[in-house]
Structure formats: C-alpha cells, structure tokens
Amino acid sequence: MTPGEERDASGLPGGETARRESPIGEPVIRRDVAGEDAARFDPTDPESLAEAADTVRRFAENTAGGSDNVYMLRGAAACAALVRGEGSYKAAAERAGGDATVSFIRKWARVHDLPRSVRRYVALGRIAPTAAKHIARVSGEARFLLAWAVLDHGLTVREVRTAASRVNEGADVEAALAEVGVDLGHVELSLPAETYRSLRRHAALADEDPDDVVAAALDDYLDR
C-alpha cells in the first residue's frame, strides 16, 4: 500500500472492494492492458446505450469480433451498462434482443462488477472469462481468493465452478478450495540468491520458519 493510500471497510487498499463500485462509463480496464479495445459505455447517454445494446446482442451471438479476453470484458461492460440504463435484467434483455437472455446478461454484468485487480488478469489472459463468470458468483473476499487460486494453482474452469458452488452452499472458501486440491495461501516464490541467503540466515537465527518471516515482512510492507 502506497503512502497516503487508505483501506476501505473490507481492509483492502485503494478502496478496492469485493464488488466493483466504479461507474460503468469507466474503461473495462486500463488501456495499457486492454489496448484500443478498452470499452466505455455511458448508461445515461442514449447513443452509448444503443451501442451497448447492439454490443450485447452481438456478444450473445458471438459475432461481435473474436473470442479474446478483452473482447469478452467489453461484452461484460456492455451488459452492465445496459442493465443500469434499462433498470433491470429483464428490460436489458428485451432491449438487446437476439440471443441475449436475462441469465446471460446477469452473468456477464457480474463479471464487469469484479474488482479491477481481478479483471486485469482476465484482460491479460491469466484468468479465463468463463472462470471469471464463476468467480463473480461469490461475494466478499471469496472473489479474491478464488481468483488468486486460479493464478497460483492453475484451477480449471470446472474446478472454479465447483469451488464457487460450494461457497454459495455455505462452505468456507478455504474448505471449498481444499476440495479441489488447493492449499490456500501456498505460493511458490523465486528469490535472488542474496535475498534467499538472508532469509534463511534470519530464519535460522530467529528460530522461525521462513514462511513466518516472509509473512511478517509482507504484512509490514503492505501496511505501510
């Protein structure tokens, strides 16, 4: 956390909550990630809303332009804008027409509501959009933990769906991830030789496990 940066009620830095609160009119993701395909839809502007409706309809028919991750995030942004502009999922589906159903629009609008840190990895291709749909089904910190499990443990879409379903059934996210073979919090790191040597020396002299030393150091760094 950078100096002066505040945490929100969830304890996450930068006011990044488990549910996205930024306006639909903001880009799907910063252009340094999404390039020229970053979308901007304004649900209060009739022309932009019409563009969103057209995008949603073609997105549902898979004819809007490819199947890359940024394209799918653009479709998700259009779904979210259309829902906000029309006032309901049903009205949004009616406005879009074609193959755009209420269920389809709901699923993808939720993807747009994912925190930016998660959507960034969707745009980069590290998290499949189909996996993001299941991550978006859960709320709170579970969203982040499922997303990071995809990055650190290579979860398949089916495994993400299974874990998300278990969480929505009331299971603790750690237990839900354990059921698909994930040891929550386990991360493999590659350190420079000098840093590795210092870590091992400090842990030995302090009679501590290297994991505890790293965790304490990260807590201190991230709380600054």
Per-residue pLDDT tens over the stretch 148-169: 999 999 999 999 999 999 999 9
Q: Is the pLDDT assigned to residue 16 strictly greater than 70?
A: no
Residue with tokens 């278990």: 166
pLDDT at 34: 45
- Segment 129-143 shows an average pLDDT of 94
DSSP letters along 12-74, please? -BTT--SS--S-TTS-SS-HHHHGGG-----TTSHHHHHHHHHHHHHHHTT-SS---HHHHHH
- Segment 101-116 shows an average pLDDT of 93
| Exposure class string for 162-182: b at 16+ Cβ within 10 A, else e | bbbebbeeebebeebbeebeb
Separation between Cα atoms, residue 83 and residue 97, nearest integer Å: 13
Q: Determine the straight-line distance between the first and last CA of the chain, rounded to whole angstroms.
A: 6
The string of pLDDT tens digits covering residues 26-58 is: 444 444 454 434 457 999 999 999 999 999 999
pLDDT at 205: 96
pLDDT at 79: 95
Instruction: State residue 13 phi and psi, 5-degree precision.
Output: -70, 155
